[in-house]
Amino acid sequence: MVLFMALMTVAMAACGNSEEKAESGKDGEGLKIAIVTSLTGVDDGNFNENNYNGILSFIKNHPTATVKAIKEETGDPAAGVQAVADIVADYDVIVTPGFQFAGISSVALENPDKTFILIDSEPTPVGDQTEFDNIYSMMFAEQESGFFAGMAAALETKSNKVAVVNGIAYPSNVNYQFGFESGVNYANKVFGKDVEVVELSGYAGTDVTGADVGGNYAGSFGDEATGKVIGNALIKKGVDQIFVAAGGTGNGVFTAVKEAKGDVKVIGCDVDQFDDGVNGSENIVLTSAAKFMGMNVEKQLNAIVDGSFKSGNVVLHADTDSTGFIKEEGRHQLSEGTLNKMNEAYELVKGGKIVPASNFNGHTPEKFPGL
């Protein structure tokens, strides 16, 4: 598994800013935090911003703490690590959202007095060392969130055709795909549905082992044009529920759905994307499959302050309320019946009775515990 995660080191690098000033110090009094992100920055309305909001929430309770946001833009993996190395001396905690920062392990070894929070990847091994005393690596069971997206799509579709659109077949993205397919299969078997997951010719993904995982992969997380092409093609095939797990590429899918005639919906990814679904007086977002990242970033910052911080490479699941779907009133369009079924399934996932397929857990979307 470590090898697979190490293979994912793809970065986007360089400079940027946005700083709040305060006194420097320790134990939360003036804790100096930096967040180094991909080129979309901390105001991307999605992945990076969710992590940034966790820091801001921490600062509300520790007003002398500060944060500086650094945006990387070159796309060079080495530059991503270098950007962290360039600023590490000036900060107590470095937060790095995204698999592209896996290589910070070398910086962490050289700076044992600094703390690093890595999101969505294990750190790259250094020799035989895979865990580091000053790195908390949080990953998420995306297949669980994807499972709820698949359930929602299958239970709400009118055409009985649904699909998932992905960016690149990195493990976290394949997890979303396999989870989605698992959720559709679960709804078909348990609730008597007959829903097809539609895949377009020419867009199959290849994971980090070279295996063909199928799906609808754009080959990029930043290609809106291709996202729109895929979205339009799926709509033309009769798909009326599309799970969009494609980063910036997904914006093109959103556009295709907004321009489409008929009742087509999208399911957001990573964070609550309901606001992105506004389309005149209507909204195209059914719900969103979520990883509750900001909450966990804040939790680790609090642990640093109160002395309970523990390093490690951790995969977070529904049993810590770290994966799931958006069900708050006014933030989704799920029917009461669908919501009840999904809430019941959530407890089964939380208790380990349903274990959706993921890229490497040995299960398939057609055969997994709970199906």
60-69 confidence digits (pLDDT tens): 999 999 999 9
Q: Is the pLDDT of residue 250 over 50?
A: yes
Q: How many CA atoms lie within 13 A of 325 on its CB side?
A: 38
Question: What pLDDT shows up at residue 4?
Answer: 41
pLDDT mean over 241-249: 94
Strand order in the sheet with 135-140: 66-71, 32-37, 93-97, 115-119, 135-140, 312-316
Question: What pLDDT shows up at residue 12?
Answer: 35
Q: How far are the Cα atoms of 71, 116, 253, 311 from residue 308, in angstroms, in the given order?
A: 30, 15, 43, 10
Contact 274, 100 (CB under 8 A): no
3-state SS class at 322:
coil
CA 84 to chain centre: 22
Range with the poorest average pLDDT among 14-18, 42-46, 95-99: 14-18
Tell me the percentage of the chain whose pLDDT exceeds 70: 92
For residue 90, what pLDDT band results from cuts at 50, 70 and 90?
very high
Question: What pLDDT shows up at residue 75?
Answer: 63
E-only strand ranges, 158-249: 161-166, 196-197, 205-206, 212-214, 241-245
Range with the poorest average pLDDT among 17-21, 215-219, 291-295: 17-21
pTM listed for this prediction: 0.86
* Burial group, residue 330, by CB count within 10 angstroms (0-12, 13-18, 19+): exposed
For residue 47, what pLDDT band results from cuts at 50, 70 and 90?
confident
The CA angle 80-204-317, to the nearest 5 degrees, is: 60
Q: What is the mean pLDDT of the chain?
A: 91
Range with the poorest average pLDDT among 44-53, 129-138, 146-155, 208-217: 44-53
CATH 3.40.50.2300 domain extents, the chain: 2-140, 142-290+324-350
Question: What pLDDT shows up at residue 28?
Answer: 59
Question: What pLDDT shows up at residue 10?
Answer: 36
Give me the CATH code for the 2-140 domain, please: 3.40.50.2300
Q: Is the pLDDT of residue 19 over 70?
A: no
Question: What pLDDT shows up at residue 286?
Answer: 98
Contact 349, 183 (CB under 8 A): no
Question: What pLDDT shows up at residue 39?
Answer: 78
Contact 250, 274 (CB under 8 A): no
Q: Is the pLDDT of residue 14 over 70?
A: no
In tens, the pLDDT along 183-209 reads: 999 999 999 999 999 999 999 999 989
pLDDT mean over 232-236: 98
pLDDT mean over 211-230: 95
Give me the CATH code for the 142-290+324-350 domain, please: 3.40.50.2300
